[in-house]
């Protein structure tokens, strides 16, 4: 039987080619763990995040809010949502952990202020789109155009943008540097 260069059996490795990754300099330290932050936990988000993790390294997915059905389960049967999350994480091969806020982060007020400035700039960039939306124009007939636009901007900022940016800012601040 023919032997390869390292004494391996050619018949068993006939169709395989071996690739070696380039070596990094000894000063380069790759991150020990992958961390992905999800503002709101969802099955689709978990599956996409799992595919984004680097193979061969431990993965951690941090989440901010639970999905609506798990918040209902948590309200009526405390503790069962944790069992569900552990089963889901074990099935996907990742660790799940909640994003820490307030007492869990140093200098949280400054972090909160930084998130507020990001929310303000994001909301102001949407002002023209909100002014032209059908909802704002219809509510402008009842409230007045300026009041309707202010209400639309407040709703978008408070309900949609603020929770997402606060979760991502808190997650990024809690990552090891």
- pLDDT tens-place string over residues 21-58: 445 455 555 455 578 888 888 888 888 887 777 666 66
Domain end call among 48, 78, 98: 98
pLDDT at 28: 52
Q: Is residue 71 part of a domain?
A: yes
Q: How far, in Å, CA of 35 to CA of 32, rounded?
A: 10
Handedness of CA 163, 74, 79, 47 (dihedral sign): negative
Same domain, 87 and 153: no
Tell me the C-alpha distance between 108 and 112, whole Å.
Answer: 6
Residue 120 and residue 72 share a domain: no
User: Rounded CA gap, 77 and 98, in Å?
Assistant: 19
In a domain, 8, yes or no: no
Determine the pLDDT at residue 71: 81
53 assigned to some structural domain: yes
Order the strands of the 58-65 sheet from edge to edge.
33-40, 58-65, 95-98
Q: What is the DSSP letter of 52?
A: H
58 and 109 both lie in a single domain: no
* Mean pLDDT of the region 160-173: 89
Domain boundary among 98, 129, 149: 98
Q: Is the dihedral of CA 167, 169, 174, 177 positive or negative?
A: positive
Sequence-ordered list of residues with C-beta below 8 angstroms from that of 154, at least 6 positions apart, any chain? none
- Measure the CA–CA gap between 151 and 140, rounded to whole angstroms: 10
Three-state SS at 95 = strand
Listed ranges 26-40, 81-95, 120-134; the one with the highest mean pLDDT: 120-134
Residue 129: pLDDT over 90: yes
d(CA 149, CA 143): 10
On the question of pLDDT at 11 being above 70, the answer is: no
* Residue 115 near residue 104, CB atoms below 8 Å: no
Stretch 129-142: mean pLDDT, rounded? 93
Which of 8-17, 35-44, 109-118 is predicted most confidently? 109-118
Number of domain units in the chain = 2
Answer yes or no: do 109 and 94 share one domain.
Answer: no
The answer to whether the beta carbons of residues 71 and 95 sit under 8 Å apart is no
Q: What is the pLDDT of residue 63?
A: 85
- Give me the domain span that covers residue 69: 32-98
Mean pLDDT confidence for 79-91 = 75
Residue 57 lies in a domain: yes
């Amino acid at each position: 039987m023919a032997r390869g260069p390292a004494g391996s059996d050619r018949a068993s490795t006939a169709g395989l080619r071996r690739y070696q990754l380039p070596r990094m300099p000894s000063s380069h330290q790759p991150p020990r763990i992958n961390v992905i932050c999800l503002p709101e936990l969802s099955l689709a988000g978990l599956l996409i995040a799992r595919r984004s993790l680097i193979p061969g390294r431990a993965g951690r997915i941090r989440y901010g809010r639970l999905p609506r059905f798990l918040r209902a389960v948590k309200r009526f049967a405390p503790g069962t949502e944790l069992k569900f999350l552990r089963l889901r994480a074990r099935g996907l091969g990742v660790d799940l952990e909640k994003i820490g806020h307030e007492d869990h982060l140093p200098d949280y007020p400054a972090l909160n202020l930084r998130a507020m400035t990001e929310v303000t700039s994001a909301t102001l960039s949407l002002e023209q789109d909100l002014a032209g939306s059908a909802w704002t124009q219809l509510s402008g007939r009842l409230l007045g155009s300026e009041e309707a636009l202010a209400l639309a901007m407040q709703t978008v900022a408070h309900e949609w943008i603020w929770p997402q940016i606060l979760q991502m800012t808190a997650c990024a601040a809690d990552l090891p540097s």
